[in-house]
Structure 1
Amino acid sequence: MRSFIVFRTLLILILSILSEGAFFPTQAFSNDSNIAAEIRSLLEGNETQISVAGNPSPIHSRSTLLTFYFERAFLPGWSEALQPTCKARELLYLIRQAGFDGLVPEDYHLESLNTLFDKDMEGKSLAERELALLDILLSDAFLTYAHHLYKGKVHPEHLNGIWDIQTKQTEPSVLGRLNRALSGNHVKEELHSLRPKLLVYERMRLSMKKYHGMEKAYEDKNWIPLSIEESLKVTQRNEHVPHIREKLIFWKDLESYPVIAEQRDFYDSTMAEGVKKFQLRNGLQPDGILGRATIEALNQRPRQLMDKLAVNMERLRWLPDTTLQEFILVNIANYSLDLIRERDTLLHSKVIVGKSYRKTPVFNATMSYLVFSPTWTLPPTILKNDALPAIRKNINYLAQKNMKVIDHSGQEINPNSVDWQQMNGDNFPYLIRQSPGPQNSLGLVKFMFPNKYSVYIHDTPSRELFYREDRALSSGCIRIEKPFELAQLLLKDQPLWSDERIRSAMNGKKEQIVRLDRKIPVIILYLTFWTDSNHRENIRRDIYDRDIELLKLLRTPLIASVVGDKN
């Protein structure tokens, strides 16, 4: 093993000399050669981790570090004249700030680095081996932190559920960035440039800092979790009203106002406005009624919201760095759809998404056509689990739902000729298709973006469901509250499609396919926290219970060689 490493060292060293982009320090201090020997000894050894004051630190990018130090003849990059450089101290500061990106500073050797820097701050000289350790730890921390900022710490494929939005295809050379950071004074710039380019990400960092500052103040309040037996409405009295009022003021959903002693437990209209504001931020019906969901949201602590922020900042790091002029964004956890063009929201609509056991997947695709007055061919899952059991109980179910039985050539089959008691999803030889009309489960129009999940956006006859707070009610597809308005905007550039013609096509007796004059990206996301352009924090319930799993992986310490030596 050691002979192979020595051979590889020699080979890479020769190649680096011959290569045009090889990097060598222009100056070397007298002690640097001794430190270089220590660095080489540490990296060429068999250990997967190095120890500082008895604290083992796993090396995450060992192979990449070997390449980096080979190209600089193993000379240190983070110390001069036996002292850490200003760039070293800057990187330490950035590591300590990693929590504001929802990351874990300890993943970047914080404890070991603190030990070494504390010794230096106490005026004690670091030994050459300690300086070698410091150099390796800082370089490894830079590479690991850079990777996490650019692509995230957790890969989506390690999670339950479907996340099928293509991640960033190419990763910038972090070795190049490390060399530039060390050759100039650009440590902060090189790292920060790897964060997502989305404006919402920077706003979420500010929210993280805000909650971090609020955490101590919240703990000092010694608040206990609230609970009420019955919903509380305006003009009612309850012993918890003073506590609720305090929390609303703490979260800045309510400004402090004078309340006389006799009215402290009285739920007044001023306080109700603060409740509505809080409910709106938390995706709840802003009715001013203090029910179970509102009280549960009020019981959240800053630390819990920081965890929620961390999870969603990680999800943003998974997204590709692309700027879209026009796209449709569906946020599953927010039950919402937005049509965005040149950063302006042209349409905001409520949606209904998949039930907890028929979850809407996270993915992206391209919308290319609409279908007015659609028919609906029942998919296998719904056929097996819903339709066939209903037909076995009552064959009139088909007529009531305006459904026909057809064979695979499209010929209609008399339902009385089928032995329904023997039919299940595996042996049923036909298809069941629902005709266009007001009862059609797809409503009056569907919006098609072909994908392997057979998920699309469509109208629904069950309009009353949009008034519910919990709208995880579909079999996976996305039902939209404003189908006409969406069709109107998508066809705006096609003069033949007037409002009157759109309405007529939606109420036709036959399907009508209309191709769009452009392809529109559709992005289906799952975000339970984001900070909007007004710097208002929006908090949503984790309807598919995905936050806890991702948070656990984010908080799990890294092991050696997990970052990947591809850089």
Structure 2
Amino acid sequence: MSPCCSLRYFLFYLISGMTGSLLLLAGGSALSKTSPVAQEIRFLLERDASQTHPGFSHAPLHGKSHLLTFYSERAFEPAWSSGQQPTCEAMELRQLIRLAGIDGLLPEDYHLAAVNMLMNRFFETGLLSAGELALLDVLLSDAFVSFAHHLHHGKIHPEHLNGIWNIQTKRDEPRVLEKLNRALATKKVREELHSLRPKFPVYDRMRASMKKYAELAKRYPDQNQPLSTNDKPLEIGERNPIVPFIRERLILWQDLNVYSIAPDDEDLYDRTLAMGVVSFQQRNGLQADGAIGRATLEALNHNSETLMEKLAVNMERLRWLPDTTLQEFILVNIAGYSMDFISKQDTLLHSNAIVGKSYRKTPVFNAAMSYLVFSPTWTIPPTILKNDVLPSVRKNSAYLAEKNMRVLDHSGNTIDPHTINWEKISGPDFPYLIRQEPGPSNPLGSVKFMFPNEYDVYIHDTPSKELFYREDRALSSGCIRIQKPYELAQLLLNDQPLWTDERIRSAMQQNQEQLVQLNRKIPVIILYLTCWTDSNRRENIRKDIYNRDAELLKRMRRPLLENRSGSEN
């Protein structure tokens, strides 16, 4: 017997089983043809839209076509009851629905209220009518189908959201009816549903974090008191009335262990507390300097419920991704301002990154990196040409020479800038290209990494190294600048023996560009994640720089609509 059967249910099952046996003996001939419950199930599913059963008034079916197929193949006989009683599998599915919040989903989407009402009635009276058993059966099957779709594909389709999401979602279907039949046959409802979750290890770690925050929310319901202080950052050695609250909150978030404090020093910002602040700042993508400024206080004001919401929207984003296991790939997290080179699930390189500004957002997509360009040239984009370069040339005739720029026609021929009447040419009418040669002031730096795509986005170096130390690094026009271009070039060329470390460094300092083809194509995945749990089981929280979390959360918290399939399409 499944462990889902409580002692109470087990005893009840034994006692009421005798009554059930008598009923079976009395009506055996009728049940051998079509049971009353089967008749009621068929009656429920064959109604048209104008004949909605009152049992569905607050719990409309989402996967009716799946249900008709499922039940017709079993002659409409019930799947979740036996001997006119709910089975242990029914109890197990109800418990899984109750825990749907651990996956960031809504238990209400899976008929929890109606299922609870019918189950409670059974426990109170020991009896459900054929119609009630049929209703319970259909609701549980529909819940399984919807839950399975959501775990596999996600509840919300990314096409319905603002912003570009152009990573291929899962193409395969979750085969929910196959899963449902196997779950019932093997009595392994939990295993079959759980097999549809994303296979990424980070997803399971995020579920564990969701459980942790749910428990903290229950244990500490008063963690919503906001912390505030002066605009001046709080430094080590200073005293402030909010220090005890900061200490308490860092202990709650497990960035700080409990330690002894002299009674007179409770408001003292000491070095032990500062170590906890640094840990917290690192997890939140803040400048890890130990000073408690406005950004750190804003992050400290997150409560368990807020963090659970962040986990929910990012678990949904993970459900959109294909489950393909990649041996080697480059992962850019836009909201994390980071780039990682991953091989066989090991991170070989982590680099800070700069991404697109809020009005020139870096898109979410994937492509294959096929070549890199050492000492690249930079062709001035039209907007920068119009707003910056042309006005500068009109003011200073030596501007192009100072910036190491050339004027070219569209055939690539060099044009003498002195032959151009700059006063009469505007941006839209400019018949030439302006290209900056390789050098220390070139915005692309010493190397660019190319993965051809429709957005003209690529990864590149930058001469402005100081920008990588900023907390807010949404500074580019859409491309991704990285702090460790040399190290990335090393990894990409490690299967080409002629490209020694010395040769790579030399190629990055030439006066003409050099294109190098890779021996293998490296998948590049550009994601937007504002929260995740790392391999050390530490939650990492990032600012929602493109303001995308609220829209997704709102849609995820919206109940499923009547006559919708298990996935919002």
TM-score between both structures, scaled by the size of structure 1: 0.91
> Where does residue 104 of structure 2 map in the other structure?
102
Separation of aligned partners in 2, 1:28 and 1:492: 75
> Where does residue 559 of structure 1 map in the other structure?
561
Name the stretch that deviates more: 67-76 or 354-363: 67-76
Q: Are the equivalent residues in 1 in contact too, given 2:155–2:567 (CA < 8 A)?
A: no
1:334-393 CA deviation, whole Å, 9 max, x = no partner?
A: 111111111121111111111111111111111111100101112334434544454455
Alpha-carbon spacing, 1:366–1:215, altered in 2? closer, same or farther (3 Å): same
Name the stretch that deviates more: 408-417 or 521-530: 408-417
Alpha-carbon spacing, 1:136–1:53, altered in 2? closer, same or farther (3 Å): closer
Separation of aligned partners in 2, 1:235 and 1:115: 59
The question of 1:479 aligning with 2:486 is answered no
Which letter maps to 2:540?
Answer: N
Alpha-carbon spacing, 1:386–1:552, altered in 2? closer, same or farther (3 Å): farther
> Where does residue 530 of structure 2 map in the other structure?
528
Matches within 5 A, 1:534-545: 534-545=536-547
1:137-182 CA deviation, whole Å, 9 max, x = no partner?
A: 1111111100000010011111111111111111131111111112
Which letter maps to 1:142?
Answer: F
Q: Are the equivalent residues in 1 in contact too, given 2:42–2:76 (CA < 8 A)?
A: yes
Separation of aligned partners in 2, 1:328 and 1:128: 57
Q: Are the equivalent residues in 2 in contact too, given 1:31–1:82 (CA < 8 A)?
A: no
> Where does residue 468 of structure 1 map in the other structure?
470
Alpha-carbon spacing, 1:146–1:448, altered in 2? closer, same or farther (3 Å): same
Runs of 4 or more, structure 1, over 6 Å off, are none
> Where does residue 269 of structure 1 map in the other structure?
271
- 2:170 aligned to which of 168, 171, 181: 168
Give the CA deviation at 1:126.
1.3
Once superposed, what is the RMSD of the aligned Cα atoms?
2.2
1:6-25 CA deviation, whole Å, 9 max, x = no partner?
A: xxxxxxxxxxxxxxxxxxxx
Matches within 5 A, 1:25-36: 29=31, 33-36=35-38
> Where does residue 328 of structure 2 map in the other structure?
326
Q: Are the equivalent residues in 2 in contact too, given 1:29–1:80 (CA < 8 A)?
A: no
> Where does residue 289 of structure 2 map in the other structure?
287
> Where does residue 155 of structure 2 map in the other structure?
153
Alpha-carbon spacing, 1:215–1:425, altered in 2? closer, same or farther (3 Å): farther
- 2:46 aligned to which of 44, 47, 57: 44
> Where does residue 243 of structure 1 map in the other structure?
245
The question of 1:407 aligning with 2:412 is answered no
Give the CA deviation at 1:406.
1.3
Q: Are the equivalent residues in 2 in contact too, given 1:338–1:349 (CA < 8 A)?
A: yes
The question of 1:378 aligning with 2:380 is answered yes
- 2:352 aligned to which of 350, 373, 376: 350
Which letter maps to 1:313?
Answer: M
Give the CA deviation at 1:216.
2.2
1:53-84 CA deviation, whole Å, 9 max, x = no partner?
A: 68521111111211112212222111112211
- SS of the residue corresponding to residue 369 of structure 2 reads strand
The question of 1:297 aligning with 2:299 is answered yes
Separation of aligned partners in 1, 2:395 and 2:115: 70
The question of 1:367 aligning with 2:369 is answered yes
Separation of aligned partners in 2, 1:48 and 1:104: 28
1:462-484 CA deviation, whole Å, 9 max, x = no partner?
A: 11111111111011101111111
Which letter maps to 1:34?
Answer: P
> Where does residue 134 of structure 1 map in the other structure?
136
Separation of aligned partners in 1, 2:433 and 2:409: 6
Give the CA deviation at 1:492.
1.5
Give the CA deviation at 1:401.
2.4
Name the stretch that deviates more: 339-348 or 416-425: 416-425
Alignment length, in residue pairs?
Answer: 541
Separation of aligned partners in 1, 2:54 and 2:306: 33
Q: Are the equivalent residues in 1 in contact too, given 2:223–2:303 (CA < 8 A)?
A: no
- SS of the residue corresponding to residue 206 of structure 2 reads helix
Alpha-carbon spacing, 1:483–1:458, altered in 2? closer, same or farther (3 Å): same
Q: Are the equivalent residues in 1 in contact too, given 2:165–2:364 (CA < 8 A)?
A: yes
Alpha-carbon spacing, 1:291–1:222, altered in 2? closer, same or farther (3 Å): closer
Separation of aligned partners in 2, 1:57 and 1:393: 70
Which letter maps to 1:533?
Answer: S
> Where does residue 181 of structure 1 map in the other structure?
183
Q: Are the equivalent residues in 2 in contact too, given 1:61–1:565 (CA < 8 A)?
A: no
- SS of the residue corresponding to residue 335 of structure 2 reads helix
- SS of the residue corresponding to residue 453 of structure 1 reads coil
Separation of aligned partners in 1, 2:471 and 2:290: 14
Separation of aligned partners in 2, 1:275 and 1:565: 42
Alpha-carbon spacing, 1:97–1:311, altered in 2? closer, same or farther (3 Å): same
Q: Are the equivalent residues in 2 in contact too, given 1:528–1:539 (CA < 8 A)?
A: yes
Separation of aligned partners in 2, 1:309 and 1:413: 56
> Where does residue 314 of structure 2 map in the other structure?
312
Alpha-carbon spacing, 1:191–1:540, altered in 2? closer, same or farther (3 Å): same
> Where does residue 76 of structure 2 map in the other structure?
74
Separation of aligned partners in 1, 2:297 and 2:323: 38
Alpha-carbon spacing, 1:252–1:132, altered in 2? closer, same or farther (3 Å): same
Give the CA deviation at 1:123.
2.5
> Where does residue 3 of structure 1 map in the other structure?
none
TM-score between both structures, scaled by the size of structure 2: 0.91
- 1:455 aligned to which of 454, 457, 472: 457
Alpha-carbon spacing, 1:180–1:289, altered in 2? closer, same or farther (3 Å): same
Separation of aligned partners in 1, 2:567 and 2:198: 22
> Where does residue 200 of structure 1 map in the other structure?
202
> Where does residue 119 of structure 1 map in the other structure?
121
- SS of the residue corresponding to residue 304 of structure 1 reads helix
Structure 1 stretches of 5 or more lacking a match? 1-26
Q: Are the equivalent residues in 2 in contact too, given 1:48–1:560 (CA < 8 A)?
A: no
Q: Are the equivalent residues in 1 in contact too, given 2:224–2:301 (CA < 8 A)?
A: no
Separation of aligned partners in 1, 2:456 and 2:308: 35
The question of 1:85 aligning with 2:87 is answered yes
> Where does residue 431 of structure 2 map in the other structure?
429
